[in-house]
Structure 1
């Protein structure tokens, strides 16, 4: 059964939605000039003009008779992907439709330049700041149900083990027949009444997960901290992704691997890369597993070891936190000829070459990968004007990632401080997930020994000036909260006699 989120209980652990909105408004005001907010008039005008293209596709192809379905959070309206899965004599056929954003966004046009400035859709607790104007991203370009929409369709032929044996990419029109939501789909599957397409997705997802393990791929099996708005209130909760979400992610990963394969074979494209973990980091992590009494067997891959950990166990939670040191250095690598293909071109966590190609409504790079891959499957060289801008995209993506990461962290700090303000003075049980030794300067000043702790309810992490071993359970007291400064202070529970 999927993990049920642990949430703060209203009204004590909740904050008014309008108070949160005001706080986020203030954060965005501080970012003025750094994070694009409103779309310029010329971009909105170009988007309105592009709406007329919704009834066409560049090649006039048509797959509207195929019953595609989408699978997303229930509230989503910017739908990048739709799928149709079927069995074949040799295994499976996956038709994976991706929104044809390039049809609506002219290269070097106003929307393109604004998208390069933004890089990605930014998701904040009470709003999202889209990559493209909503008339496109939540309208004619979105794969909404009962709407004929232009799309790129990946045609992936799989054998009985789930391995990809054939790759094609069409530019066509599709019509989704149903907008499925994760929670309801998982509930139906758990009752044995799953949608036939979702039953097949679950089956293919399990095969692809097994192949990932064989490759040596890895992922961190940790819950998500999310902000939920209900009845005008906002609270924090843990959310563990449903199994069907993992299966859905495997379809996206498979498609990204197919895109990378095409681009490497033809000598032009943009890869999502991550270098292998440095041996020193691997050795350090292995020592940590031994110190915490849960040693990583020498014969077991680190992916299999991570899959064996359960975040409910304080020791395992600490190890999962420490394992983030093995997942660093993700970047993008663009190349326009075989001579420019980077020597290290794999994504080490996936254990294969990989590219972002399935979310063009929400991520800049995917639009360019789709265009390049489509040219490759047609046996054509990508257009010179397309190749000319490929090398600019990695920098745009890295800059956008840094901006959005900083703002999303600040927003979450705000939510945590606002939600915790009602708990000031309370003592909590917490698990130690990191420890930092005291540092001393020449005059004797410096930082004391501190530990990072993970609370279960409320679901927050914090640094506390105390000394304890990683994996140990400790008691901490919420000493003070300042929502305006986004500052929360915890101390050891026995400090000042507490």
Structure 2
């Protein structure tokens, strides 16, 4: 039985196409995308690193060694230059909030003429971009930050698996030659800051090769983690600029509460996982095995999700003070979204704040007026995107297991109350009733698998 992805689109009222006036405005914007004066950075070698087949390329990166350590150039698609404030396109993307991904195709934030063509950092000619220049010392710490509008040129369109293979073969693309050195440095700095990386198995829905869909675990490469650190570095730099200027919008998450940390430590010790005196959750989690199905690792990583609760967007500006706690507990520092404007609404506004601050200018009136309404727009779109993603996975899990109700399976217990288990093949995470102990490998019976609701339920004898 196949999951009904069309029903999910209907259930969440996902838009089908764009209104004519929005498409017309996007066409005009695409034709004028590179207009206006810009800093010419076409001599800076940049590459994009994305999943194979991606066309909405938000970021292009270039890394060189410098006398002080490293210079990172990070070019971001410049949506602020093509979306007219108050226009039909602006209104439509505010309504959408972000790109919503489904297995049979995405519901894009922007019309493809922009997101997959004129505004995307494809390697087919000069493109307008917001160019960040980040100077780092030999330890990977930030020394200076500059951001400006520029004209850039991507010299190659790479993917994670290909770059990973190149790293392992010792032939990294010249544009990112220092990445294998800088990536681990930034990752170690993240752990030192207290950044909490859960690294739970990440499920995704993919074609099953027979005209249907199935669920699998998506394995992240080390290169993907290194690339993410560059994006986080940029977002942290943006947040610091905003806080220093007293205007902007942050992505916040409360730091883990002391009792939550103490409870996680008790769980770790009960599972037989060493927790040295004075060690932080970040350090303990970073030291865990990366084996996807190691029971103790799975159970502890699942328990650590209690550390990361209360994510929000916080805007501030004239008359509105920055949040009392501006930090992001999962990152270990203040953070702002600025690196994915093709796919996420708030990034365009965050970039505009940083451009104004860097130029020593006041943020324009339209931007100051938009900042207070962005938190609810983004929170609402996050709720929809997360619910759609969960529905796609849940209903595919149920469809794959629908003809196996009544059978017994060997699972890893993630939680005891409420009971939750991980079935390795096919990779399914579901509720389970009965007496359970975290990290045990248990035999359970599949009681229900309903593809229409996504309900999968096991029971322990």
TM-score norm. by structure 2 comes to 0.95
Match 1:210 to one of 188, 192, 204: 188
Is 1:378 the counterpart of 2:353? The answer is: no
Is 1:321 the counterpart of 2:302? The answer is: yes
2:143 corresponds to which residue? 165
CA distance in 2, matches of 1:169, 1:453: 46
In the TM superposition, 1:78-227 aligns within 5 A as: 78-227=56-205
CA distance in 2, matches of 1:167, 1:123: 33
Match 1:335 to one of 312, 316, 330: 316
Is 1:285 the counterpart of 2:264? The answer is: yes
Contact kept in structure 1, 2:431 and 2:456, CA below 8 Å: no
CA distance in 1, matches of 2:177, 2:164: 10
Is 1:475 the counterpart of 2:430? The answer is: no
Q: Which runs of 5+ in 1 are unaligned?
A: 1-14, 437-449
Match 1:369 to one of 340, 350, 362: 350
Match 1:236 to one of 215, 219, 238: 215
1:459 corresponds to which residue? 427
Match 1:393 to one of 362, 374, 380: 374
Residue 490 of structure 1 deviates from its aligned partner by 2.3
Per-residue CA deviations over 1:195-250 (Å, capped at 9, x if unaligned) read 23344122111111121122222211223111222644432211221000000000
User: Aligned to 1:376, what secondary structure does the other structure show?
Assistant: helix
CA distance in 2, matches of 1:320, 1:127: 31
2:277 corresponds to which residue? 298
User: Aligned to 2:402, what secondary structure does the other structure show?
Assistant: helix
User: Aligned to 1:54, what secondary structure does the other structure show?
Assistant: coil
Per-residue CA deviations over 1:423-468 (Å, capped at 9, x if unaligned) read 44432211111122xxxxxxxxxxxxx5211111111111122102
CA distance in 2, matches of 1:120, 1:384: 24
User: Aligned to 1:379, what secondary structure does the other structure show?
Assistant: coil
Per-residue CA deviations over 1:7-44 (Å, capped at 9, x if unaligned) read xxxxxxxx7xxx44xx1111222233xx3343222211
The number of equivalent residue pairs is 458
Contact kept in structure 2, 1:268 and 1:338, CA below 8 Å: no
CA distance in 1, matches of 2:11, 2:329: 37
User: Aligned to 2:446, what secondary structure does the other structure show?
Assistant: strand
CA distance in 2, matches of 1:339, 1:485: 43
CA distance in 2, matches of 1:74, 1:199: 21
Contact kept in structure 1, 2:64 and 2:177, CA below 8 Å: no
CA distance in 2, matches of 1:313, 1:185: 27
TM-score norm. by structure 1 comes to 0.88
Larger Rg: 1
CA distance in 2, matches of 1:313, 1:465: 22
Match 2:26 to one of 17, 23, 47: 47
From the superposition, tell whether residues 202 and 140 of structure 1 become closer, same or farther in structure 2 (CA, over 3 Å): same
From the superposition, tell whether residues 190 and 422 of structure 1 become closer, same or farther in structure 2 (CA, over 3 Å): farther
Contact kept in structure 1, 2:62 and 2:176, CA below 8 Å: no
Q: Which runs of 5+ in 2 are unaligned?
A: none
Residue 479 of structure 1 deviates from its aligned partner by 3.6
CA distance in 2, matches of 1:199, 1:255: 19
From the superposition, tell whether residues 301 and 480 of structure 1 become closer, same or farther in structure 2 (CA, over 3 Å): closer
From the superposition, tell whether residues 31 and 186 of structure 1 become closer, same or farther in structure 2 (CA, over 3 Å): same
Contact kept in structure 2, 1:219 and 1:303, CA below 8 Å: yes
User: Aligned to 1:128, what secondary structure does the other structure show?
Assistant: coil
Is 1:260 the counterpart of 2:239? The answer is: yes
1:3 corresponds to which residue? none
From the superposition, tell whether residues 165 and 338 of structure 1 become closer, same or farther in structure 2 (CA, over 3 Å): farther
CA distance in 2, matches of 1:470, 1:47: 52
Query: Which shifted more, 338-347 or 40-49?
Result: 338-347
CA distance in 1, matches of 2:208, 2:427: 18
Match 2:230 to one of 246, 251, 260: 251
CA distance in 2, matches of 1:80, 1:305: 33
Contact kept in structure 1, 2:183 and 2:229, CA below 8 Å: yes
Contact kept in structure 2, 1:268 and 1:372, CA below 8 Å: yes
CA distance in 2, matches of 1:400, 1:464: 30
